[in-house]
Structure 1
Amino acid sequence: MTNYFSDHYFNHSLRREISELYASIAIKNFALSMIAIFEPVYIYLIFQSLQAVVLYYAAVYTLYFFMVPLGGKAASRFGFEHAMLYSLPLLILYYLTLWAVPLYHSLIFLAVILLVVFKIFYWPAYHANFAHYGNPRYRATEISTSRVIRSLVWIIGPIIGGVILKFFGFSILFLVVAILVLGSAIPLFTTREKFEPAHFSYWRPFERLIKSYGTYKRRFFLAFIGHGADFIEIVFWPIFIYLVVKSYLGLGLITSIVTLVGILVTLVMGKLVDRSTKRGRKKILTISALIYSPLWLLRAFAQTGFQVLAINIFSKTSQKGIDIPMTTFFYSKGKKRGFLKYVVFREMSLSFGRMLIAWILLIVLVYTTSWFWIFGLAALWSLWYLFL
């Protein structure tokens, strides 16, 4: 199976930096796959309030939006792989802090800061590293391969996380995750990173959001705002599933099954996008977005684990039709304007979308906690993708 995959799907040589990145992705995402789906539920059960959960993540994305350029500065000064390395202790401290929040609720403020600083160091450097060392000819294939690696660990990670929670609780789960996150640093330094420090402006990224020029067009900014729908996917959807199935193990099992189905879609979509023209990629994205949007409304009516699973599978399939073309576009544009500059442009646009939808949700929740209106907002927000 491995030889078939290498020879027939991924049939071009990988640069050393990309191979290292794939290995690091696999280890780190295995750690995160055991905890990420349960994190919003954990915060919800501590504070017993949807508003508290939204406020927590709204604070994270608001701070991240204004501090993303600092991530560009860090990557420019220390190097892509070094910046990623420096982020990992912060992630470990973040999860250890979350573990202590039930004992001292005020630690939730420290958790926000640690998560934001982790994001600042990790995500701009991660995307710039991937874009810089990737093969432009096989851009979508490499992107989909990184997604498949992530998906493979997400098949077993949520189940393992659910089992640990069922028998041992969050304390042991946080400890296991922290150890694995530390291990994800090892592949990044099997060989020495060649890097020359460079200057990166803090204010210029904000100008690129406001002024439309070159590849920093207004419609690209608006399309990236569409990722605000991911906020509801990340925060509200796990809570909804947990309230339906009423168990961590059930939540983990549904996540794993959906991920398994998503792997085939991701592999096929990567090849399809690589072989498509620019217009063809746009068509794939448009059709997928128009399918993905109304599926959000159906989620509100799911009342059993099977219904949640079925809707989730269809949603994940259409989501891949958005994700692969958009990410391919993003890396391709980055090559023209400077990888790190465009990465920061994209990260700021994405976090602006998530920040905006979070604050809107806080207003919505004052008047209603109906899942129909919450998911309805995600359905409308998904249409931002059509601006690409």
Structure 2
Amino acid sequence: MNGHHEDTHLLRYVLNKKELTELYVSAVLRVLAFSMIGIFVPLFLFKELGYSLNFVIYYYLIYSFAFLIFTPIGAKLTNKIGVKHVMLAGMPLYVVYFILLYLLRFNPSLFILVPLIYGAAEGIFWIAFHIDFSLFSEKKKRGKQLGRFYSFALLAGLVGPMIGGVLLTFSGFTVLFIIVSLLILSSAVPLLFTKDIKRNYKISWNFLTAGSFKDLVSYASLGAKIMVSIVFWPIFIFAILQLYVAMGSLFTFLGVIGLIVVNVTGRLSDVFDKRQLIRWFAWPNAFLWILFIFVRTKLELIIVSVFSSISGTGMSVPFNALAYNKSKGKVEYFVFREFGISIGRIIVLLFVLWTGNLASSFLVAALASLGYMLL
């Protein structure tokens, strides 16, 4: 009887490990693709296409609302067609997004459709990813497994910004869009190696009761920081560095530092109290976001960015490990989480739209860093 139990446990371990490996490889290819272009999209809109900061904000507001709407739809679809099929459905949507983004230069009427497609792709992909990871990761090793995922992602993302910067400098956005689209399609291949299983989830649309108000605020804080990091911070950095290659090189350098921090905090979050680790990094990170407001030179930018990367990455691993633990594998909680993230994105976008000052987003990011401690 014990032998049968051990065999079953071993089989589950092997299957889970295979599923996680498959998920890692797919996610890493996707991260490589987006690391090549992600930080440059706001600049494509702002610098290359000549949109004002307000219109860049409108673009990401449409994206955020689309993400909000399509997340519960993606959750419902995992019950109908399977988790992997939902993730796979997002891949062609990403390619369509990049094609339309390229065509936006020639057809401004696509302005609403482009971020709408992007938000739909992100909404259905990430909810499926979180469900898949929660099912096949182990609670006691989740910090280490998340750290491993972050390490692989950062490793792939190390070369991405620099490659993207070089391609933009010598070839332009057209070549970059093509390469990124091919990488995204290739990220679908690893998901085909294991069978997709339709799991009989009981998904309720009343997902707002899945977590506490404090949880909601903490996820809104995460969403606000994400939006500042992918929209306002890259524009701010480019204003100082003035070169795509220099900007890509800086992000690659920060990725190296992040890789070291992730490996350390991933292991620490399985040993020490996760909330304590978050507190250790949250206060310095909040202070550093405020410092960005006063940064004017390249040297100041590099110094503050390095310490901001250390503290930001340091609190992200225990924060996400804690989030997966709190979910207890419930789909409603992941929808609740993504809802909070979307709300945070929308709040910071509306705040900068109201102030008309890009640097005001750094104040929101500082407050958001402290919001991590509420989880």
Asked if TM exceeds 0.5, the reply is yes
The residue that corresponds to 1:255 in the other structure is 251
User: 3-state SS of the aligned residue for 1:257?
Assistant: helix
Q: What is the TM-score normalised by the length of structure 1?
A: 0.89
Q: Which AA in structure 2 matches 1:223?
A: S
Q: Which AA in structure 1 matches 2:294?
A: F
Q: Check whether the contact 1:266–1:320 (CA below 8 A) recurs between aligned residues.
A: yes
Q: What is the TM-score normalised by the length of structure 2?
A: 0.92
Take 1:370 and 1:110, find their aligned partners in 2: how far apart are those partners? Answer: 25
The residue that corresponds to 1:7 in the other structure is none
Displacement of 1:178 in angstroms is 0.5
Displacement of 1:370 in angstroms is 5.8
The residue that corresponds to 1:216 in the other structure is 211
User: 3-state SS of the aligned residue for 2:230?
Assistant: helix
Q: Map 1:128-143; keep pairs closer than 5 Å.
A: 128-143=131-146
User: 3-state SS of the aligned residue for 1:15?
Assistant: helix
Displacement of 1:197 in angstroms is 5.1
Q: Which runs of 5+ in 1 are unaligned?
A: 1-11, 209-214
User: 3-state SS of the aligned residue for 2:211?
Assistant: coil
Establish whether residue 225 from structure 1 lines up as the match of residue 220 from structure 2.
Answer: yes
User: 3-state SS of the aligned residue for 1:34?
Assistant: helix
Displacement of 1:125 in angstroms is 0.2
User: 3-state SS of the aligned residue for 2:270?
Assistant: helix
Establish whether residue 387 from structure 1 lines up as the match of residue 374 from structure 2.
Answer: yes
Q: Which AA in structure 1 matches 2:36?
A: M
Take 2:164 and 2:217, find their aligned partners in 1: how far apart are those partners? Answer: 36
String of CA shifts for 1:252-289, please: whole Å, max 9, x gaps.
0000000001101000000001111xxx2211111211
Q: Which runs of 5+ in 2 are unaligned?
A: 1-12
The residue that corresponds to 1:88 in the other structure is 91
Take 1:243 and 1:311, find their aligned partners in 2: how far apart are those partners? Answer: 16
Residues 193, 374 of structure 1: alpha-carbon distance in 2 compared, 3 angstrom cutoff: closer
String of CA shifts for 1:32-55, please: whole Å, max 9, x gaps.
111001111111121341111111
Establish whether residue 35 from structure 1 lines up as the match of residue 20 from structure 2.
Answer: no
Establish whether residue 17 from structure 1 lines up as the match of residue 19 from structure 2.
Answer: yes
The residue that corresponds to 1:306 in the other structure is 299
Take 1:180 and 1:381, find their aligned partners in 2: how far apart are those partners? Answer: 32
Q: Check whether the contact 1:132–1:339 (CA below 8 A) recurs between aligned residues.
A: no
String of CA shifts for 1:53-109, please: whole Å, max 9, x gaps.
111112211232233211111122111111000100000010111111111112121
Displacement of 1:196 in angstroms is 3.7
Q: Map 1:288-367; keep pairs closer than 5 Å.
A: 288-335=281-328, 338-365=329-356
Take 1:224 and 1:374, find their aligned partners in 2: how far apart are those partners? Answer: 17
The residue that corresponds to 2:235 in the other structure is 239
Aligned Cα root-mean-square deviation (Å): 1.6
Q: Check whether the contact 1:331–1:339 (CA below 8 A) recurs between aligned residues.
A: no
Q: Which AA in structure 2 matches 1:28?
A: R
String of CA shifts for 1:267-324, please: whole Å, max 9, x gaps.
0000001111xxx221111121111111011112222333222211101111122211
String of CA shifts for 1:318-377, please: whole Å, max 9, x gaps.
112221111111111122xx3322111111111111112211221111xxx262x33223
String of CA shifts for 1:193-248, please: whole Å, max 9, x gaps.
232454533x3124x2xxxxxx6112111111111122111101111111111111
Q: Check whether the contact 1:73–1:199 (CA below 8 A) recurs between aligned residues.
A: no
Q: Which AA in structure 1 matches 2:279?
A: T
Q: Residue 172 of structure 2 is aligned with which of 169, 174, 189?
A: 169
Take 1:75 and 1:245, find their aligned partners in 2: how far apart are those partners? Answer: 43
Q: Residue 117 of structure 1 is aligned with which of 111, 115, 120?
A: 120
Take 1:222 and 1:322, find their aligned partners in 2: how far apart are those partners? Answer: 16
Deviates more, 1:293-302 or 1:138-147: 293-302
Q: Which AA in structure 2 matches 1:56?
A: Y
Across the two proteins, how many residue pairs are aligned to each other?
Answer: 360
User: 3-state SS of the aligned residue for 2:194?
Assistant: coil
Q: Check whether the contact 1:37–1:234 (CA below 8 A) recurs between aligned residues.
A: yes
Q: Which AA in structure 2 matches 1:22?
A: Y
Q: Check whether the contact 1:77–1:199 (CA below 8 A) recurs between aligned residues.
A: no
